[in-house]
Structure 1
Amino acid sequence: MNSLYDADTNALSDASEITLRRAYSASEWRIVPILFLLWLLAWVDRANVAFAKLQMLSDLRFSETVYGFGAGLFFLGYVVFGIPSTMFQQRLGARRTISVIAIGWGLTSIAMMFVRSAPLFYLLRFLLGAFEAGFYPGVILYLNLWFPTKRRTRNFSIFHSAAICSTIVVGLTGGFVLQHMSGMLSLSGWRWMFLVQALPTLLLGCLVLFVLSDGPATASWLSPEERLLIAADLARDRKRSSVEENHKRPLLANPVVWMLLAIYFCIITANTALSFFIPTILRDAGFGGYTAIGNAIAAICILGAVGNIAFCTYASRHGDVRYHCSIASAVSVASLILLVLVWHSSRTATFVTLAFALAGTGAGISLFWQIPMRYLKANTAAVGVAFISSVANLAGFLTPWLTGYVREATGTYTSGFVTAACVQGLAAIMLVVALPIASRRNQQALSNDG
């Protein structure tokens, strides 16, 4: 191992630096695309109900409240099974766990085409969340095993932009299926949509077994030298970037964990409000039929994804991601407030504000997940990340349910979206002010305990 370093500076030799960059590049091309596609399909299978809503509610005679409650039940399953699924990955390994999860949610999404009553709708949405629960926190931990901070921030922003891009897929394929496949074999268009959009998940879930490895040490595409270089580089990165906190105290006694949970809850609130109501917003704004709505969604999401990746790349190179996460949240707040003012009067303004809102919420989530790893040691990271992700996703359960209820009671989404904007504003404030205070208090408590 010593031969990999320059004898005078104890830094990597030029040859080793080139080898390390090549190893990271090869790993990125192997890992990031398949995780991107899986996350895209996960969001397609969880959020396509928003497009199906345009036909499903009248077809099944569901109210806005029934729809909102069912859409939100996904996140209740997510909360209940988040930590168990992540711990399962620790035992079984990332490759097999991700495969099982993907196949499970794919089959559940296909079953959505058979919904004929509210109870079955509720059950399948809950099961979909239960299957997906371990994937997102598992990917966060998986990328932490592979890449140092700067690369991980960029790669995670690419991965997370799949959530935005998924709406492109939902929009284009959903618009086509609802427009052209309704009535085929006597099935409604929304039933065909669930089938068509879930089949790729099953195929990709099987492919995972042949493409991914559980970590650098078992990666067949890396040489022994490349594995050693990655291990050493990750060790140096963890030493540089981690906040030195003693974690002898129980995880849940750490106020930083609870503050991070509260911040993520607030960010998820705005993201969920957008995810489950964009097709309805565009219809109300006058975008016409299913195909026109689908095309508009695709264009909005492309712009949002580009904005997300560009901002996260900039943030990874300039300063503390905590401040940039706060800025992204502020952009989302401003966009949501503007949205409720323009979507009934201007199609162009609605289009632009939705693009900014998606970019802001997407960048906020991408940057947020670089923060916990700076406060949590390796031995607590798995449970900590799963706990934060799972419990905070209660926002995903509450937001569509309450937004649908408010729409049914008042005839407008205004109150729901203004509330979501205010909640995300709290996230921006907590990132800048409350999180450092929580960290200092934890340090003081540890000093007193010592």
Structure 2
Amino acid sequence: MSTQLHATRPSGEVVSDAALLVLEDGRTFPGRAFGAVGTTIGEIVFNTGMTGYQETLTDPSYHRQIVVMTAPHIGNTGVNVDDPESSRIWVTGFVVRDPARRASSWRSEGSLQDELVRQGVVGISDIDTRALTRHLRDRGVMRGSIVSGEDLLVGGYPRPIEDLVGQVCSAASMVGADLAGEVSTERAYVVEPQGAFAGQAPVKTVVAVDLGIKSMTPQRLAERGVRVHVVPSSSTIEDLLALSPDGVFFSNGPGDPGAAVHAVELLRAVLDAGVPYFGICFGNQILGRALGFGTYKLGYGHRGINQPVMDVSTRKVEITSHNHGFAVDAPIGAQTLAPHDPERYGRVVVSHVGLNDDVVEGLECLDIPAFSVQYHPEAAAGPHDAAYLFDRFLDLMNSGARTASGLSAATGAASAKEN
């Protein structure tokens, strides 16, 4: 590939498919336009998944992020109407090394290139994604932009790099960003029991607060006979209790949990009402903050479908799907009292730990019926190692227990017996 970025005629007309990736620290990567042409700015993150790019693109947790795929060949299986995790692509930009020239799958209904163009997603290809990923691992995720087409020019001449870097640095940071309201459903909807339970009375009713929910999550509950009411992130405790839930679920989602004041207060009201609670990803961070623990931004986060996590109680290691840039700051290896109000929320343990870097990957409350994990047990896309967590939630609701204590050991013993 030529490194000529600004192939133009004297009139300033762009005659190439040149594109440029610009990082806030001044490093640039030349490439080719992929998808829509123009400018996009966001936080640059990398995803280590080998498959599931369509699920990644449509995951609301990637709102305001430019995603770098570390797998070199992307687009091989095209796109279809079955795999999206929401109604649209949420990534603000897409970076790949070698896009597929044509889709090759019996399930394909179109090309990735055409879908990116249709939805106006600016991307870049033909860059060294290995070098970019190493840079982000060394320096940490940062803001960046993809610029292509006429946006590479000003007055018919190439835009100065300093101008492009300045544009990136003027963009909002992910720290302090409260984004759940930007991706949440505007209206509540219901997912009825499915599969073997279709057409039957629900075994339980769960209210799922949509902070950026993936469509597979309520489906996993519905497959277990649960009726799921998915409600907007702006819902109040009165809205939730009016649905007479047997349990409340908080979903994944984008942004800084430290800025999610409403979600934290809503969850405290749920815990005070004694309703069993299960949260994943952002829902884990919200539980942490509701209990009084802090959260912090990871250097480059966990994003992919190959992350090893250990259940502390059973010592079982699961390969799991992740998408998070923030983590809960809670002590590992010992019980602790909830910092916010020890008498109100009691004892808490870290139930799961990431084996790559000892990041907190789950919380279990020992005196109230609440637990959460940082990863994605719905496995879209990803392994199915953690699907048992939905059974654990159902067990908590069925048991009527006033605590989540012992759930890990009980589920682990049942799993061992089955095997």
- What TM-score, normalized to structure 2? 0.28
**TM-score, normalised with respect to structure 1:** 0.26
> RCO higher in 1 or 2 (8 Å CA, sep ≥ 6)?
1
Relative to total residues, which structure has the larger helix share, 1 or 2?
Answer: 1
- Bigger share in strand: 2
